[in-house]
Structure 1
């Protein structure tokens, strides 16, 4: 990407012209939305005849909120670049993102940042479902600020900003599948209960007292609390393979498929188990999760007031 932006800068320089009258004193893109190229890592803002390009690795943008007062910080250098350009006409996306640039407009002035810090504060964006009080993560907002940034104006002078707000860049979240059928299984050699689909699993290390082979009284379910070891709840999303029943109940966790995301139940949520008779010697345990939150780093979402984890059949 460094080489790509270098080509862009050179191409702009070759096509630039000086009308002899332009003097840029200050730059301000506060109210301009951030856009991104689809073919590279460039972020950019366009304001009539001006552009402000930010070139940093796409992996910088994390799907995890930053701690308060501790933003992601990058040095401005040959890898992390900030470039301001003023054109002699209205600039469009093609002037920034296309490999072969349009012949017009041409460049009147270009500033290259030579030092400073890029600071990114990440916050989670969510929506709520009022019917069950569940939440869904929709994306992660990256608020970008330049600190102590110095621009080389290309004419022997520089421009310094102690604080320069670039603005927000929203990375959309990919929804978790949660494509479970609610038919639970239990390991014979442990207290792990599980449900799975080809790309995910939902496991619960359940307190065995919650699934006793005794019918519960009406409106009197057995109640447990999500914990760090007992009643430990974990959602996992996988890549590089398909999840099958053979993945579970092993002394050693299989290497494949590999885990791409793991969300753990927040300590304190409630488990309710209602047991009914299936046959003379078997029982159906309906497991419901109430007010349970799943956590991954600083990200979180609510399963809602009542989430039916599934039904487990046991034999007496």
Structure 2
């Protein structure tokens, strides 16, 4: 009897020997961090020694640089702009096997699972710098937590597999906003002779503006010592902008600012507005101190505790941010 049992066990071991192919029963990339093939993050992947998990998304409608949760459908059948594919190979993998314009001939794909339904859930959170000595913060990037729900994979010569939930992982991006807050001049400018009521300061790469500023803030009257005029930042009156230029599209000049609508050139890279002020919290305030030298009035304009917004993203200007000194000769 023992002889027959030994023969049966030996036969089982022979059938279970590794013939060089990778047999996959489930996808497991728990300890692998997602990587992107390019700056537009349209193809992301996770690699193991002989396995790859790929996620393809469009440039617009994939990773969104704004805190929130974004949900995308994997098209029925697995063909479309949102795709998830698992592959097993007959040899060791490197990034060029995934991202190369002409994929190498080896290693070869020996098994492929294609997602044919399900949802891609991406939760974006903001990464913010430590608060600087001047009270400012910077937006330094985003984290994207990517998960699948009810994802079904079609598998050749096997039954489909469905995962109620499956984590793809967290991907991180890096940005730097604001890129700069250093003006070319300490003097602010205004759109005098127009009905725009704008005060601004700028460099070639960015500008900060108060649009539709209340004329009472800029009265040609000397303010008493330590008693500046104050008003709150608003959504229509005293609206604050920060805008930066898109690289290689030009630069800001004085001709840009006093048009009824902003010119289309240069292109805008970052477009932020000031959060409405709160008198109780003493945030989002505009302070103007006016002095008179000879026949010239000088209005020193300070933005105090102003938070800048773009969607759900934020950064803080310095606690006392000088827009500059506006020179006015009546």
Q: Which TM class, normalised by the smaller chain length?
A: 0.7 to 0.9
Number of the residue aligned with 2:8: none
What SS does structure 2 have at the residue aligned with 1:129?
coil
Structure 2 Cα separation of the partners of residues 93 and 312 of structure 1: 56
| Aligned-residue offset at 1:84 | 0.9
1:228 to 235, 249, 261: 235
Partner in structure 1 of residue 285 of structure 2: 270
Give the aligned CA root-mean-square deviation in angstroms.
2.4
- In 1, are the aligned partners of 2:22 and 2:88 still within 8 Å (CA)? no
Q: Distance in 2 between matches of 1:122 and 1:91?
A: 30
| Kept in 2: contact 1:183–1:311 (CA 8 A) | yes
Offset at residue 299 of structure 1 (A): 1.2
Could you tell me which residue of structure 2 aligns to residue 3 of structure 1?
none
Aligned to 2:208: 202
Per the alignment, in what secondary structure is the counterpart of residue 209 of structure 1? helix
Q: How does 1:274-289 map onto structure 2 within 5 Å?
A: 274-277=289-292, 279-289=293-303
* Worse overlay, 292-301 or 302-311: 302-311
SS of the equivalent of 1:144 reads strand
* Corresponding residue of 1:57: 58
Gaps of 5+ in 1: 1-17
Distance in 2 of aligned mates of 1:230 and 1:34: 45
Structure 1 CA distance for aligned equivalents of residues 63 and 208 of structure 2: 27
Instruction: Return the structure number with greater strand share.
Output: 1
* TM-score of the aligned structures, taking structure 1 as reference length: 0.84
Which string of whole-angstrom CA distances, capped at 9 and with x for unpartnered residues, describes residues 98-127 of structure 1? 234445433332211111111212221111
Structure 1 residue 186 corresponds to structure 2 residue 204: no
Structure number with greater Rg is 2
In structure 2, how many angstroms separate the alpha carbons of the residues matched to 1:150 and 1:304? Answer: 50
User: 5+ residue gaps in structure 2?
Assistant: 1-17, 278-283
The answer on whether the counterparts of 1:19 and 1:108 sit within 8 Å (CA) in structure 2 is no
- Report the CA distance between 1:58 and its aligned residue: 2.6
Give the structure 2 partner of residue 8 of structure 1: none
2:89 pairs, out of 87, 90, 102, with 87
**Counterpart residue number, 2:13:** none
For 2:181 and 2:45, how far apart are their aligned partners in 1? 35
State yes or no: 1:157 paired with 2:140: no
Contact kept in structure 2, 1:138 and 1:173, CA below 8 Å: yes
Shift of 1:157: 1.8
Q: Residues 49-74 of structure 1, C-alpha deviation per residue, up to 9 Å, x if partnerless?
A: 221011111332222222xxx42323
| TM-score, structure 2 normalization | 0.81
Question: Of the candidates 240, 254, 258, which is equivalent to residue 263 of structure 2?
Answer: 254
Match in the other structure for 1:75: 74
